[in-house]
Amino acid sequence: MIDFELTHNDQKVLAAVREQSLVCRRYARHYDENEHEFPPDALPEAKDHPPAYAMLRDRAPDDTSFPVMSMLIVAGESWGDYSVRMRRGTGGLGNAALRAAGTPEQQKKWGGLTLAMAITEPGCGSDPSRVQTTAVLDAASDEWVLNGEKIFVTTGCRAQGVVVWATIDKSAGRAGIKSFLVEKGAPGFIVAHKEKKLGIRADDTAAYVFEDCRIPRGNLLGGDETIPKESSGGFKGVLKTFNMTRPAVAAIGLGMAEAALDFTRDELEKAGVAIEYGGGLHTQSAVVARFLKLEALFEAAQLTVLRAAWLSGQSQPNNLEASVCKAKAGTAVRKITQGCIEILGPMGISREHLLEKWFRDVRITDIYEGTGEIQRMIAARTILGYGRDELS
């Protein structure tokens, strides 16, 4: 049955998330202003707050499904702050790739490490088939030799290892691209610096350099050294991991957008401007009408995220919906945070408040994990029934 109400259990979990999230928010400004510092793995308050995900173990059959709840939890966490977490999770995007494509031996050896994922390079972002980093097999020593530069590596400084995309044959294009597991400390693997950013400044975003970096032959993720003739199967295996990470990124942005809306609503109410839903937009003051539109936009975007996650919980394909929600939320959170600043004016741009930070922080969510344009490309191909060669 179509339903949008949270059960009592659902609400309990999300209330706990919000409570923790507010604690995190106390640290938000500090780590934004002190970009070189990393928030701790666990806040001092963590001992008083059990992990929210643990509460999801105890569920009744009529509670909201795990994927949908995950999105609401992700949003609830970033509602407090993007970068500061009560406890830092151990996994990185590389771990998702390992789970999706790693051999049993690789899972065993690497599964316990936090793995970042290094795809983007100074010359290629949205089109990973243009990867220039090379991996050359040294048959004599049975090692791969990596050379190249990677940027925007999330969790790149803290990660204990990384999944690196590199080509073993540039002439083969996409088919020649493979993923490699590289441990921190491998010779020739240099963490160049932490990137300086518009927002999510406390976040760990690294730049890597590989200079004749030697790794064992068995570190090729999945172990398949052959170059497929036609299909890009291996590549697709990794891209598949995006079907839940894209909705999650959308949810992250929406958490911050909701914080901006909550702040704006509170400030308007303090100023004596009440938000009423009874009249039509044409009967409202410009400020209230503007706010109502932003709120409706938020709801719309949130529902697309829940839809994508719900499909995943039903074991139904959600490739299109993952892109739809990422595109929708990516645009929505930009408009919402920009609009809230416009509504509040000077209060919106002052660093005394977090609104200007949310405005900066949400901006990344329409860029990473596939830009809004990439999402539209995927959506367009799907609804038009076009392949890559027909629309690019």
* Enzyme catalytic residues: 369
Q: In whole angstroms, what is the distance from residue 114 CA to residue 120 CA?
A: 19
Contact 191, 147 (CB under 8 A): no
Spatial CA neighbour of 225 closest among 165, 162, 174, 179: 179
Name the DSSP letter for residue 314.
T
In this complex, which beta carbon is closest to another protein, that of residue 64 or of residue 120?
Answer: 64
In this complex, which beta carbon is closest to another protein, that of residue 42 or of residue 384?
Answer: 384
What minimum distance in Å lies between the beta carbon of 311 and another protein? Answer: 8
- SS3 at position 293: helix
For residue 8, with 0-12 CB atoms within 10 Å meaning exposed, 13-18 middle and 19 or more buried, which class applies? exposed
Residue type, 337: T
What minimum distance in Å lies between the beta carbon of 243 and another protein? Answer: 16
What minimum distance in Å lies between the beta carbon of 366 and another protein? Answer: 13
What minimum distance in Å lies between the beta carbon of 292 and another protein? Answer: 7
Q: In whole angstroms, what is the distance from residue 199 CA to residue 219 CA?
A: 34
For residue 140, with 0-12 CB atoms within 10 Å meaning exposed, 13-18 middle and 19 or more buried, which class applies? exposed
In this complex, which beta carbon is closest to another protein, that of residue 95 or of residue 284?
Answer: 284
In this complex, which beta carbon is closest to another protein, that of residue 99 or of residue 388?
Answer: 388
What minimum distance in Å lies between the beta carbon of 61 and another protein? Answer: 9
In this complex, which beta carbon is closest to another protein, that of residue 1 or of residue 140?
Answer: 1
Contact 121, 133 (CB under 8 A): yes
Residues whose CB falls within 8 Å of the CB of residue 287, separated by 6 or more in sequence, listed in order: 268, 273, 343
In this complex, which beta carbon is closest to another protein, that of residue 63 or of residue 121?
Answer: 63
What minimum distance in Å lies between the beta carbon of 276 and another protein? Answer: 9
| Residues found near another protein in the complex (CB under 8 A) | 1-7, 10, 62-65, 68, 277-283, 292-293, 295-297, 299-301, 303-304, 306-307, 310-311, 314, 321, 324, 327-328, 373, 376-377, 379-381, 383-386, 390-391
What minimum distance in Å lies between the beta carbon of 323 and another protein? Answer: 8
In this complex, which beta carbon is closest to another protein, that of residue 127 or of residue 212?
Answer: 127
Question: Which two structure tokens, joined as six digits, stand for 361?
Answer: 């922080």
Query: What is the 3 state secondary structure string of 150-203?
Result: EEEEECCCCCCEEEEEEECCHHHHHHHEEEEEEECCCCCEEEEEECCCCCCCCC
Contact 239, 323 (CB under 8 A): no
Query: Could you tell me the end-to-end alpha-carbon distance of the chain, in angstroms, rounded to an integer?
Result: 39
